[in-house]
Amino acid sequence: MVLRTGNADHRTTTSGLLAGFVGERVPASHFKYRKGVEIFGEDDEAEYVYQIQSGAVRTYKMLPDGRRQINSFHLPDDMFGFENGPIHRFSAEAVIETTVCIIKRCSLVDEMAAREGGARDLIGLVTSNLQHAENHMLLLGRKTALERVVAFVHEMDERQHRPAVIRLPMNRRDIADYLGLTLETVSRALSTLRDDNILRFHDSTQRQVELLNRNRIAELNA
């Protein structure tokens, strides 16, 4: 089975793809959102497509009683908010202070459709999201708490290109709502991994993680 690291690989191509448009024929502007601010809500009109310049965004769905499921985290260069229909199917919020590049959805779609191979790129964009969702369903439906947390740090590691120290922009509750757990369970799993010398924290807020044993991580992630 091929190891698919979320949609990180597609996302990088995506940024290049978008670079070919923005500023040439598709108007774009920049916006800044402060920590915790909503970018768009479920069922809002899908007017814009977003690309992150700095910061981090969570997209999520909620149940009426407040239970929340985060679909994905978006990091610099990632696009989000692309919809086929006229309505957003989920909400988006800034996890920390975030700068985004905003493109009008209709102009992007028109331009892409007109361009040679543009349709294929758009399908690739949606497909990479679908691929991530498929992997995440397997995680949510069938993995243990420890496996989920391992998968999470692995994903973050890959998406930050295996840095010396992973920086987590989100808090434990966000991680929990992404992994279908409680924040306490996430905390305990991370402590277990720390005690097993698989990772180490580099700051007092426990948001900077060094992976001490990527082999074990990859093993546990199988």
218 contacts its own copies (rule: CB under 8 A): no
Q: How far is CA 86 from CA 71, 105, 139, 210, in A?
A: 19, 9, 30, 42
To the nearest whole angstrom, how small is the minimum distance from the Cβ of residue 190 to DNA? 5
Map residue 155 onto helix, strand or coil: helix
Q: Which does 135 bind (CB under 5 to 8 A by kind): DNA, its own copies, none?
A: its own copies
CA dist 108 and 129 (Å) reads 18
Site for DNA in 109-148 (CB under 7 A): 144-146
Q: Which has the closest alpha carbon to 101: 149, 174, 49?
A: 49
CA dist 170 and 55 (Å) reads 10
Q: Which is nearer to DNA, 107 or 221 (CB)?
A: 221
To the nearest whole angstrom, how small is the minimum distance from the Cβ of residue 88 to its own copies? 11
Altogether, the residues listed in the chain come to a count of 222
Q: Which does 190 bind (CB under 5 to 8 A by kind): its own copies, DNA, none?
A: DNA
197 contacts DNA (rule: CB under 7 A): no
| Phi (first) and psi of residue 165, to 5 degrees | -135, 120
Burial of 18 (0-12, 13-18, 19+ CB in 10 A): buried
| Phi (first) and psi of residue 63, to 5 degrees | -90, 160
Segment lying near DNA (by CB under 7 A), choices 11-19, 21-29, 45-53, 188-196: 188-196
What are residue 72's DSSP bridge partners? 59
**Residues near its own copies (CB under 8 A), total:** 43
To the nearest whole angstrom, how small is the minimum distance from the Cβ of residue 29 to its own copies? 25
**Interface with its own copies by CB under 8 A: which residues?**
1-2, 4, 42-43, 61, 63-64, 67-69, 71, 83-85, 87, 89-90, 113, 119-120, 122-124, 126-127, 129-131, 133-138, 140-143, 177, 179-180, 222
**Interface with DNA by CB under 7 A: which residues?**
144-146, 171-173, 180-188, 190-191, 201, 204-207
